């Protein structure tokens, strides 16, 4: 199901006092869009850090997170997913107005039960599928952008109308409209891409580099042909505009033949089995969320170690040796 501008009653969000918790990538873009859509009462709750002067320069009343929560009828939780559990527990949950609406832009914390949700709270997701700069630029240019909308908890019986009103005020119900989804679906697909799809793609590049290097080809030629030429980004750009397979028609006949034949001859069974395991056993079971929360609580040392290990990847060493990306 899609939601369009014509489904939205903008007066719902215009009549609420809105508190933005976090004024980063999404926070700033969404706050500016809501104001330009005629939402008059917006406050920003942020810790006293680098984003605060920006909120003040943009002419928003800026207070602490807890102060903003105390006033907010709609609470936009726009701090990084990995910090939401702690900030919610320590600075938000005990200060919520009765009958407030929590608005998340990502399904993670709600899907994996990281937030204690009071009975009277409405919970909706309005999740733009693009970075904050895109959310703002598209709004200003009156262009559509993809966005997921869902109701996760409907204490008032009016959460869907609120969610659609917010999506419309953000400019997300134009064109093809906002897509009805859920926190579980949004987080599931997002984490699957991060933990299954992209690791598989990364492994393809790592192994391809080793095979080509083993054949005596030069680092310069391999890296420039594989990705420094930006060919992969052009392929994905065309995949989104003309179609995943149809973009192949922009390649030579030899390339089309090689790609279609090679794809047909690839047995995807092992990969699919691995993908199933990652999706069901790790992600949807909540195991990953638990594991990552514990790792974060312990200072995320494993992430640091992974970065260190990556430095010894042959592909990374080749990039360093060629001095391709100066820090």
Site for ligand NDP in 48-67 (CB under 6 A): 49-51
Q: Which residues fall within 8 angstroms of residue 303, CB to CB, at 6 or more apart?
A: 295
78 binds ligand NDP (CB under 6 A): yes
Stretch of residues binding ligand NDP (CB under 6 A), selected from 21-29, 114-122, 170-178, 202-210: 21-29
* Nearest Cα residue to 286 out of 188, 194, 181: 188
* Among positions 27, 72, 171, 177, the unique one binding ligand NDP when judged by CB under 6 A: 27
Q: 273-282 burial string, b = 16+ CB within 10 Å, else e?
A: eebeebbeeb
Q: Which is nearer to ligand NDP, 100 or 127 (CB)?
A: 127
Counting contacts by CB under 6 A, is residue 94 touching ligand NDP? no
81 binds ligand NDP (CB under 6 A): yes
In 3D space, the residue among 101, 20, 102 whose CA is nearest the CA of residue 54 turns out to be 20
Nearest residue to ligand NDP on Cβ basis: 24
| Given 13, 42, 74, 87, the residue binding ligand NDP (CB under 6 A) | 87
Give 35-93 as a 3 state SS string: HHCCCCCEEEECCCCCHHHHHHHCCCEEECHHHHHHHCCEEEECCCHHHHHHHHHHHHH
Burial of 306 (0-12, 13-18, 19+ CB in 10 A): exposed
Contacts to ligand NDP from residues 119-148, by CB under 6 A: 127-128, 131-132
Question: Residue from 85, 101, 106, 181 that binds ligand NDP (CB under 6 A)?
Answer: 106
Closer residue to ligand NDP (CB): 51 or 209? 51
Cα–Cα dist 313/206, whole Å: 8
Shortest distance (Å) from residue 327 CB to ligand NDP: 21
Collapsed DSSP state (helix, strand, coil) of residue 145: coil
Query: At closest approach, how far in Å is the CB of 23 from ligand NDP?
Result: 4
Instruction: Find the binder of ligand NDP among 2, 40, 47, 320 (CB under 6 A).
Output: 47
Rounded Cα–Cα distance for residues 174 and 52 (Å): 31
User: What sign for the dihedral angle of Cα 87, 90, 96, 100?
Assistant: positive
CB of 320 to ligand NDP, least distance (A): 28
Among 25, 37, 195, 256, binds ligand NDP (CB under 6 A): 25
Question: Which of 257, 57, 258, 292 has the alpha carbon at shortest distance from 187?
Answer: 292
**Least Cβ distance, residue 220 to ligand NDP (angstroms):** 33
Which residue among 38, 40, 53, 80 contacts ligand NDP (CB under 6 A)?
80
Asked if 143 and 175 count as a contact pair (C-beta separation under 8 A), the reply is: yes
Contacts with ligand NDP, residue ranges (CB under 6 A): 22-27, 46-47, 49-51, 78-81, 83, 87, 105-106, 127-128, 131-132
């Amino acid at each position: 199901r899609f939601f369009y501008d014509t489904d939205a009653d903008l007066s719902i969000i215009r009549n609420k006092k809105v508190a933005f918790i976090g004024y980063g990538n999404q926070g700033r873009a969404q706050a500016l869009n809501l104001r330009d859509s005629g939402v008059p009462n917006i406050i920003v709750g942020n810790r006293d850090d680098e984003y605060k002067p920006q909120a003040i320069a943009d002419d928003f009343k800026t207070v602490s997170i807890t102060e903003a929560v105390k006033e907010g009828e709609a609470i936009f939780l726009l701090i990084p997913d990995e910090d939401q559990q702690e900030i919610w527990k320590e600075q938000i949950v005990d200060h919520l107005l009765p009958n407030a609406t929590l608005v998340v832009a990502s399904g993670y914390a709600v899907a994996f039960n990281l937030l204690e949700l009071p009975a009277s709270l409405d919970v909706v997701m309005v999740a733009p599928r693009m970075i904050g700069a895109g959310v703002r630029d598209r709004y200003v240019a009156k262009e559509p952008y993809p966005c997921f909308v869902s109701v996760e908890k409907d204490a008032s019986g009016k959460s869907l109308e609120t969610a659609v009103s917010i999506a419309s005020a953000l400019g997300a119900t134009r064109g093809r409209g906002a897509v009805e989804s859920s926190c579980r679906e949004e987080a599931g697909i997002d984490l699957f891409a991060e933990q299954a799809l992209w690791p598989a793609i990364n492994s393809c590049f790592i192994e391809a580099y080793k095979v080509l290097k083993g054949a005596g080809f030069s680092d310069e030629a391999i890296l420039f042909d594989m990705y420094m030429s930006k060919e992969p980004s052009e392929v994905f750009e065309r995949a989104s505009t003309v179609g995943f397979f149809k973009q192949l028609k922009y390649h030579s006949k030899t390339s089309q033949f090689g790609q279609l034949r090679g794809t047909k001859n690839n047995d995807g069974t092992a990969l699919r089995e691995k993908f199933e395991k990652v999706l069901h056993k790790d992600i949807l079971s909540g195991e990953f969320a638990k594991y990552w929360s514990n790792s974060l609580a312990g200072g995320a040392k494993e992430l640091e170690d992974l970065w260190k290990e990556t430095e010894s990847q042959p592909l990374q060493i080749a990039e360093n040796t060629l001095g391709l990306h100066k820090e």
